[in-house]
Amino acid sequence: MLGKRNEIDQLADQQWDLLVIGGGITGAGVMLEAARRGLKVLLVEQRDYAWGTSSRSSKMVHGGLRYIAQGDVKLTRHSLLERERLLKELPGLVERATYLFPLRKGVFPGRWPMKAVLWLYDFLAGIRDHRYLSLQQVKERAPALNTDGLTGAMCYTDALTDDCRLVMRTLLEATRHGGVAENYLQVTSVAREEQGFSVSLHDLVSDQKRTVQAKQVVNATGAWADRFSGSEARVRPLRGSHLFVDPERLPVSDCLTVMHPEDGRPVFVFPWEGVTCVGTTDLDHPQDMDIEASASNQEVEYLLTLINSQFPGRAISREDVFATIAGVRPVIASGKGGDPSKERRDHAVWGDNGVVTVSGGKLTTFRLIALDALLATGLISEGEHRKGQKTKAAMYSKLEAAPPAVDEFLHANQDDDDFFDWLLEQEAVQHLDDLMLRRTRLGLTRPQAGVAVLERRREQIKAALGWDDERWEKELSRYLDIHQQFYGVPVAPVVDNRKAG
């Protein structure tokens, strides 16, 4: 499993077939596909697993209706087939969810254009799962929804997941096949040599530095991909932010796709892990990538405006928001600039001086992205690549020793004793933010950053991780500072309405 940390000397003493840089869903997918084929693979992540975009997505395993509208039917089809695969293989962790697209008089798209798109959507997925809901049916399912001009809704299904748990589950499966993964292990340089690569590593836990040898290197660092690619910059970092709202103040039972009143962009409002999630935004992110992304005041206002236009009787304010998240999407730049929402979401694989870089793409298609990256390294043949794309063989097998919550989300057990024991022993928790923001989502879905949970589990956590009181206080301070800076709700600016005298 991931629990016991390997000494950096142990890693340096081995010859690796493949070294994967990046512990998000793409890197985890590359590691799993390589390990399943018997390759000796090491994955390293300079922060925590899923620390970047892979814990901050919209939590959706979906084909993407808007990609059809953009003419990208191929991406939609691949995504839908992968969605159906994950629904079958990881029930409980990837779950089918009902989506409602409210229809309003005089607002595009209307009932018949949406019906045509949804027919194609289901056809590509190989299912038939959409229908029209009358105005009365919509009122019954979403009683707080604004009824101005409302004529009904189109109903269809997609899937939801806990993106970070999906990454961890993929890493756990990869280690079952013999792969090795380490978090807080930073790559400082990659040098091409006659027989492969020499990769310099800095262990941020032990503060030791060593060099490891690998035949091939895959740079799967997402929005950070340009740092190791050795080529000209190709990634356009785009920020997407979400709000986690008190479910008693904004209860929803279905995923609602609603249009923002200011720009007409679709925004999702959906139930997730016991709270209501609202997002996302789509903005260029010119900030320093070494600083954790956070939702801006303008983004919070944008999403609150959306909520209160669609649910006018709720009067949702910042006080009703438990937490925020902001992720930076690694979108492959078209070079045209313009509207971020119109950039394509395809992935790209390219190489320079032997290092294979992979970036872009969707959470849903991570398996296909991984196969493309392995093909580019030469570690699999074109025939094996084609076979892998078409295979119906299962990626995941049951983890016999794991508690049920490891394969679940939207569950009430993320604060369960057995689950907590497993996380602390088997999933490489190094800091409290790893535990509260990624292994569980208690820091996002409980008020006051989930401090009540930490107080109750203080001795359990200390004992499992070998912390004394001094280390506990330091970790608690670190976690609360991170939460306030990057996951909290920005303080609304004070508006001075006094007239100049």
The tens digit of pLDDT for each residue in 303-315 reads 999 999 999 999 9
Average pLDDT, the chain: 93
Q: What is the pLDDT of residues 66-100, one digit of tens each?
A: 788 777 888 899 999 999 999 999 999 999 999 99
Which amino acid, 274? G
- Compute the C-alpha angle 432/435/440, nearest 5°: 145
**Closest to 360 measured CA to CA, from 237, 228, 265, 231:** 237
Contact by Cβ (8 Å): 1, 345: no
Task: Judge whether 158 and 61 are in contact, CB under 8 Å.
Answer: yes
**Residue 346 has what pLDDT?**
80
The amino acid occupying position 483 is: H
The amino acid occupying position 115 is K
Residue-level pLDDT at 231: 79
> Is 498's pLDDT higher than 60?
no
**Measured on CA atoms in the order 159, 165, 169, 174, is the torsion positive or negative?**
positive
Can you give the residue ranges of every domain in the chain? 8-54+164-234+343-390, 96-159+236-341, 412-487
pLDDT value at position 342? 62
Percentage of the residues of the chain whose pLDDT score is greater than 70: 96
Report pLDDT for 337: 62
Measured in degrees and rounded to the nearest 5, phi and psi for residue 141 equal -85, -30
Structure tokens at 136: 């009365």
Q: Is the pLDDT of residue 409 over 90?
A: no
Query: pLDDT per residue over 177-187, tens digit each?
Result: 999 999 999 99
**C-alpha closest to that of 83 among 35, 21, 126, 22:** 126
Is residue 439 within 8 A of residue 427, CB to CB? The reply is: yes
Q: Could you tell me the CA-to-CA distances from 398 to 84, 153, 173, 180, 440 in Å, in that order?
A: 18, 39, 9, 19, 20
User: Superfamily for 8-54+164-234+343-390?
Assistant: FAD/NAD(P)-binding domain (3.50.50.60)
* Assigned token pair, 69: 């509208």
- Number of neighbouring beta carbons within 10 Å of residue 366: 28
Exposure string for 418-437, b = 16+ CB within 10 A, e = fewer = ebbebbbebbbbbbbbbbbb
Residue 495 is given by DSSP the state P
Q: So what's the pLDDT on residue 501?
A: 39
The CA distance from 329 to 343, in Å, is: 11
Give the pLDDT of residue 65.
84
CATH architecture of 96-159+236-341: 2-Layer Sandwich (3.30)
Q: 367-381, 401-415, 454-468: which range is least confident on average?
A: 401-415
Instruction: Tell me the C-alpha distance between 158 and 129, whole Å.
Output: 9
pLDDT at 499 over 80: no
Residues 6+ apart with CB under 8 A from 466: none
